[in-house]
Amino acid sequence: MLLIQCPFCGPRDQVEFSYGGDAGVPRPADPAALSDDKWNAWLNERDNPAGEHDELWQHSMGCRRWIGVRRNTLSHEVVSSWALQPAKTA
Amino acid sequence: MKYSIFSLARNAVSFHRDWPLAWRSPAPKSHYDVVIIGGGGHGLATAYYLAKEHGITNVAVLEKHRIGGGNTGCDTTIVRSNYYLTANARFYEHSLRLWEGLSQDLDFNVMFRPRGVLNLAHTHADLENQARRGNAMRLNGIDALALNRPEVASMVPDLDMSPTARHPILGGLLQPRGGTARHDAVVWGYARGADSRGVDIIHDCEVTGIRRDGNRVLGVETTQGFIGAGKVGIAAASHSSVVAGMAGLRLPIESHGLQAMVSEPVKPMLDAVVTSDAVFCCVSQSDKGELVIDGNVDGYNSYAQRGNLPVLERVVGAAVALFPSFSRLRLLRLRGGVMDMSMDGSPIIAKTALDNFYVNCGWCYGGFKATPGSGWCFAHTIAQDRPHELNAAFTLDRYTLGRAIDERGAGPTPWLH
């Protein structure tokens, strides 16, 4: 069972959260300008590390805010969590 | 040595002390025509079909632990081909046909038992969806039977069919030729078959790097030294991304944990594989009498090989709701496997952007039934340097081209497939 630190509500049980996937792939600023390969790289390709992984979670049964969580995929240790700033683009 | 009633009788005379080992454990040579990374079912099957179908016997299978000790050793052993999309249906049907003759082909009893795979329908929408999928299967030459409520009740008497059932059952879709097999026997059979044709199976040999020269792969760095290779194929399941990363490739794969559990053994009570897509639960009874249960993935990236309690509780709750008589059983074992979840829920058996580097991954939680077909198609792809018609759709560039094979329609969210 994961204990996730919500930056707004404090430490909460994993069942209060929904998973939102890899946080290491910022959404492109101008998707229409991308080549198919670059769009595919953003949409589908992942680093998928065995180790620390930045990911998105939503506190769906709590404050309903999206947060960032750094978590170890080998040990399941939650390393840190943070409030998301207004959408970052690259 | 051929296994037969005569070899059994001959060895009985010597009290079974003189059976030869089923495969050798050689030290790696300095160079092979083909190196397969990953000694699970798929890697060993690939080596077997490379030798048998394509005459390529200078092959090594590298495994970092013992062969068959990963996902092949802890899956729920279900074999079926009840897919809707044509690419999947044709591929898995080819695999099922290989299963049907596999014990004879390998001279090793893989205990394939076609006892039927039954998907339950809980709503009218389920029934309509099953009619659609069943018709698509029959158009692809696959057996499918739509069962009504009394037929389901007589086939699986322990299901809760009462008016107050938590999950009412309106009918089901049955594939009579589906069933189960013995997972270890599949590994041992392929290992023995490949070894007897000259393939080197090298265990306790972890790949730590892949040596490249421009667009060519020269070989692999391992814990037993550098091994040169004409061609390299990876069948590394959960660690596909890690191994492909050594060659500088990123894959459309995420690794997610999936739990499977086994109850204490009981007398025969369930002579079919029963699944429910609506409550994500799949149950069968092993030949030893244990009830084998699994559900959906844990829901976040994981390489941990252990599961979490909320999903365990949900899966067991669903199993008990479907089969109230399970409530007094105790669970004996719980295994967490790590699935290579692809972005569309369908596998990848393909050439990569590198000249002589091939990948076999993205099996989600359907890898066991695919073992013969996967090895057969991967061997063809490596030997001929182009895919077979059966795996031509399972490319890496289908994601770029917008030709995803998304059976569930969930999009690039691997934890939902």
Check residue A88 and give its pLDDT: 52
* B362 close to B405: Cβ distance less than 8 angstroms: no
Say what the pLDDT of residue A24 is: 87
Q: Which pLDDT band holds residue B376 (cuts at 50, 70, 90)? A: very high
Q: Sort out which chain B residues have CB atoms less than 8 A from A55's CB and list them.
A: 300-301
Kindly give the pairing relationship between strand B281-285 and strand B348-351: unpaired
Q: Are B80 and B92 in contact (CB under 8 A)?
A: yes
Size of interface A-B (CB pairs under 8 A): 71
Residue B106 pLDDT exceeds 90: yes
Q: Mark residue B198 as left, alpha or beta (left: phi above 0; alpha: psi -120 to 50; beta: remaining).
A: left
**pLDDT tens across A45-55, in order?**
999 999 999 99
Question: What is the ipTM score, two decimals?
Answer: 0.92
Q: What is the predicted pLDDT for the residue at B306? A: 86
- Section A5-13 average pLDDT: 95
CA-CA-CA-CA torsion sign (B132, B134, B135, B141): positive
Whole-number percent of chain B with pLDDT over 70: 100
Q: What is the pLDDT of residue B178?
A: 97
Q: Is the pLDDT of residue B396 over 70?
A: yes
Note whether A2 contacts B242, CB cutoff 8 Å: no
Could you tell me what percent of chain A has a pLDDT over 70?
A: 94
pLDDT digits (tens, 9 = 90+) for A16-51: 999 999 998 888 999 999 999 999 999 999 999 999
- pLDDT value for B281: 93
Read off the pLDDT of each residue in B196-214 and give the average, rounded to a whole number.
Answer: 96
The reported pLDDT for the residue numbered B74 is 86
Q: Mention every residue, 6+ apart, whose C-beta is less than 8 A from residue B325.
A: B158, B269
pLDDT at B198: 96
At residue A26, the pLDDT reads 85
Round to whole Å and give the CA distance between B57 and B62: 15
- The reply to whether residue A21 touches residue B241, judged by beta carbons under 8 angstroms, is no
Cross-chain CB nearest to A45 (options B251, B309, B413): B251
SS (H, E, C) B402-417: CCCCCCCCCCCCHHHC
- Judge contact between A81 and A23, C-beta under 8 A: no
Does residue A89 have a pLDDT over 80?
A: no
The residue among B246, B301, B339, B399 with the most chain A CBs within 10 A of its CB, best to mutate, is: B301
Decide if pLDDT at B417 tops 70. Answer: yes
